[in-house]
Amino acid sequence: MIKKLCPNGVEVKTLGELGDFYGGLTGKSKEDFKDGNAKFITYMNVYSNLKLNLDTDEKVKISDGEKQHTIEYGDVLFTGSSETPDECGMSSVLCDKTNEKLYLNSFSFGFRFFDKELFEPEFTKYLFRSNELRKQLIKTASGVTRFNVSKERMKKVQIPIPPLEIQREIANILDKFTELTAELTAELTAELTA
């Protein structure tokens, strides 16, 4: 399939060429996270999930006319800092279309592609967690006791741009593999606890 659709190889570009970064919530106090009126995506939601879990009760108060970034379909979200560089830049993707406004934790940041038709979100959820990209993303972090990702360094991270047909095929294969792994894990856990 790659030979047929990409006879000259897969195009590679930097994140800086493909999109822009944006920050999470700003100017919020602890009180803003009590009895909120808008859905809030936590650091752990980004860290723990290939695709964002929208089935969450986390809320934040957002006033009318307040200027905050919202997450859009296809956005890639990253954890901004951690105690170890290996845990920095963990990604999650908004793979579900929703009319609900979603706001991002201040310890995370988002990336939005200029061309929303270039990538399938179901593919990018695997792409940004792949070993090759994780190696590049880890190198964007620096620190001593706490490590922080540099967005300037992240702009230089290179990603392949396979045709959409190949992206869909890769995502389907990896979805099936992930599903089988989850089933096997559940069966093994059930046998061990029986």
pLDDT, tens digit (0-9, with 9 covering 90-100), for 177-187: 988 888 888 88
What is the structure's pLDDT at 100?
Answer: 92
Residue listed under structure tokens 């890769």: 170
pLDDT, tens digit (0-9, with 9 covering 90-100), for 47-95: 999 999 999 899 999 998 899 999 999 999 999 989 888 889 999 999 9
User: How confident is residue 6, by pLDDT bands cut at 50, 70 and 90?
Assistant: low
Question: How far does Cα 89 stand from its chain's mean position?
Answer: 9
Q: How many CA atoms lie within 13 A of 86 on its CB side?
A: 1
Please state, in angstroms and rounded to a whole number, the distance separating the CA atoms of residues 111 and 94. Answer: 11
Whether domain 14-160 has CATH 3.90.220.20: the reply is yes
Helix (H, G, I), strand (E, B) or coil at 149: strand
Q: Return the percent helix, strand and coil in the chain, to nearest 5.
A: 35, 25, 40
Mean pLDDT on 165-176: 92
Mean pLDDT of the chain: 92
Look up the pTM and report it: 0.89
Q: How many CA atoms lie within 13 A of 2 on its CB side?
A: 9
Q: For residue 153, what are its two tokens?
A: 């360094």
